[in-house]
Amino acid sequence: MIACFAILGMAEGVWVVHIPVAQARLHLSDGLLGAALLVGPGAVLLMTPVAGWLADRFGSARIARPVGIVVTFLSVILDSAQTLRMLVAGLLAFGAAAGLLAVASNAQAVLVERGYRRPLMASFHASYSIGGLSGAILGGILASIRAGPVAVCLVAALPAAAVGAAAGCGLTADPAVTRCGRPKAGPGRCRRMRGAGFGRGSARIVALGLLALCCLVSEGTAGNWSAIYLHDNLGTPAGFAVSGFAAFSAAMAVGRLAGDRLAARLGPARLVRGGGLLAALSLAAGLASHDPVAAVAGFALFGAGLSCMIPQLFSAAGNVNPDQPGTGLARVAALGYVGLITGPVLIGACAALTGLPVALGIPVLLGLCVAAGARVLNPLLPAAGARVLEP
């Protein structure tokens, strides 16, 4: 199960560090490259609702097994694109596969949590972060020695695919899906399926989705604007400017490693409320200090505050309708991905009008909004006597 998250993170990490290589090879301007790169997140957003339906219809394990292998090789195809058209087609395929794997993996994580009767989602998301870091390091080494697609395939894709294939045998079967891939019938099951549209639990799904949107706007802000703020507004060297996002990413990974223990001790609602307050206050303090070191510390604590939010929101979404975890996850994830795509653009537009320091106040307000809305997680705690799932 951990391998599914790590493989997705690693594939994305390998590709991200090869983006400058692809830009130089295809002679793309910054504007044209930026437009092309929107294809991937757009494909993820469009595929997410379909992924939720497929996971509930055929079982998340049946989706995660093959797609986990496909994703590892699509990153190599992206690196070998020789024309803009090939790059766009590769990004479309990679985004669609990533959307499928993300929903299926999170639906699997919900099933595993129920089976173990304790929070586990944050650890799974930590493995994604660690996989992304590993992929970025490995991809950076390969890019520095100008390794070709064949070398990238042999060093990165094939081992990851082998691990994914082996791990796929241990995935948890969905108890609401038959061996032939059809949802199990029954009066209770049918009522729950009818209620899974925009009836039963829809208000909770929308609330969770809005909280996810706030979180991912904030994550996208740190990824796209922290270095610019440190370099342009605080006058730090380019080498130091990247430390803001590095500190943010490291704190995210560490926070997720501790997230399950915190969720078990505090409960998801308290954890998300505390995380929202920590994220808002630390970023506000870092911005107010006008000191580069304090700003980096602010971004680090900002990442720590955000680290456990999405895992708890996704876990809650998968339990709104226990027989259809993929559907709830897909809807919440889709709203969240809207924030991830549009957030950096929103910050940029506001920065053009008011300046970047003021625009970075938006994530501060969003952190407070998440803290205020965290109580929506209270009724969604898994029952202590939840049934144990058999693999």
pLDDT band for position 176 (cuts 50, 70, 90): low
- Write down the residue that tokens 């709830």 correspond to: 328
pLDDT band for position 170 (cuts 50, 70, 90): low
pLDDT tens for 289-299 read 999 999 999 99
Greatest mean pLDDT among 27-41, 192-206, 332-346 lies in 332-346
Structure tokens at 373: 């809305």
Cα separation, 359 vs 78, whole angstroms: 34
**Which residue spans within the chain are E strands per DSSP?**
none
| Distance, CA of 53 to chain centre | 19
Per-residue H/E/C for 72-87 = HHHHHHHHCCCCHHHH
2-173 is a CATH 1.20.1250.20 domain: yes
The rounded mean pLDDT for the chain is: 83
pLDDT tens for 206-249 read 999 999 999 999 988 887 788 889 988 999 887 788 788 888 98
Alpha helix segments (H runs only) across 38-154: 39-58, 60-79, 84-116, 121-144, 149-152
Superfamily of domain 202-380, CATH level 4 = MFS general substrate transporter like domains (1.20.1250.20)
Q: Residue 254 above 80 pLDDT?
A: yes
pLDDT tens for 116-163 read 888 889 999 998 888 888 877 777 777 777 777 677 777 777 777 777
- pTM, entire model: 0.82
pLDDT tens for 335-370 read 999 988 888 888 888 998 999 999 999 999 999 999
HSE-up of residue 358 (Cα within 13 Å, Cβ side): 7
Model pLDDT, residue 9: 85
Q: What residue segments make up the domains of the chain, in order of their start?
A: 2-173, 202-380
Model pLDDT, residue 367: 96
pLDDT band for position 283 (cuts 50, 70, 90): very high
Q: Residue 379 above 70 pLDDT?
A: no
Model pLDDT, residue 284: 96
User: Would you say the CATH fold of 202-380 matches that of 2-173?
Assistant: yes
Q: Residue 256 above 70 pLDDT?
A: yes
Burial of 24 (0-12, 13-18, 19+ CB in 10 A): exposed
Radius of gyration of the chain (CA): 21
Cα separation, 354 vs 369, whole angstroms: 22
pLDDT band for position 201 (cuts 50, 70, 90): low
Start-to-end CA distance of the chain, whole Å, equals 12
